[in-house]
Amino acid sequence: MRHELKRAALGLLFAATLATGCAHGGPGAATAASQPDTFEARRKLAGELMARGDWQPAFAYVDQLHRERPADAGVLVLRGTIYREQNLLDEAEADLRDAARLAPQVASARAALGILFDLQRKPEKAEEQLRLAVKVDPDNAGYLNNLGFSLFLHGKTKEAITFYEKAARLAPGTRRTRTNLGFACAAQGDWHRAAREFALGGTPVEAKVNLGFAYEQHGDLSNAYDLYVEATRMDPQSKRARSNLVHVAELLGRPAPAMPGDAAPSAAVRDDGTPVAPTEGQP
């Protein structure tokens, strides 16, 4: 995803933005009024950097945008999200609460607050904010997925499926939603549908591993073992499949089968003894 050509383009835009900023108050200040407003371009660039996980340069942009327009709720949501992703939860909450106060009908502020409250283990507050986000923007598949994830996280699986299904109808190709729906269906005992959703949510290897993990969570280690074996044979380089297989084999008292390319008998590689969990969840 991080093509060198795109990096060069971003670097050029960053340099141009700095040059524009330096013009204000300097020798060229008299012509500053004729310069195009780069605020929205910088906001967009910050969003792209955030999507790539480049938090430090994204924060530099967003913090400057906030200094220019401190009452811009959208900028506060961006900065609050960066704080949240860096585990600065108090700072994140302050920004996101300000955003929701300044613009109560901005769905992104509600959604970001909901995710934050889940991280803070405040399920009632999380659900309240995520429902508000869906109410404001009912056709946003991401917000529907987030609400479904929160409900599933707190044991409301049947209701979670309803919101996952709505999200899947609006964005049928979104892998995250399909995978989340697969785990919710598995939790309800609908293994056939769970397998279908996992297949729609990832590669064949990922689908096998996710289904195996769902069986493992359900306590069916035998089915989990068989699925991990299939996944590892399909892709011997899959660390997640192999690690889960070794873990379940140990629980069952079986040796993990040898795979092509093995240099020696397999051994668990984890420090904590737990399987590799799925990474799907809220965006």
Distance from C-alpha of 113 to C-alpha of 136, rounded to nearest angstrom: 14
CA–CA separation, 239 vs 117, rounded Å? 32
* pTM of the complete model: 0.76
Q: What is the per-residue pLDDT across 80-103, written as a single tens digit (0 to 9) for each?
A: 999 999 999 999 999 999 999 999
Q: pLDDT category, 229, cuts 50, 70, 90?
A: very high
Residue 281: the pLDDT is 52
Task: Say what the pLDDT of residue 124 is.
Answer: 96
pLDDT at residue 142 greater than cutoff 90: yes
For 211, residues 6+ apart whose C-beta sits below 8 A from its C-beta are 182, 186, 191, 194, 195, 198, 227
User: What is the predicted pLDDT for the residue at 274?
Assistant: 45
Q: Enumerate domains of the chain plus CATH numbers.
A: 39-136 (1.25.40.10), 203-283 (1.25.40)
CA distances from 97 to 4, 133, 147 (A): 37, 14, 19
Q: Which amino acid, one-letter code, is at 179?
A: T
Reported confidence tier of residue 260, pLDDT bands at 50, 70, 90: low
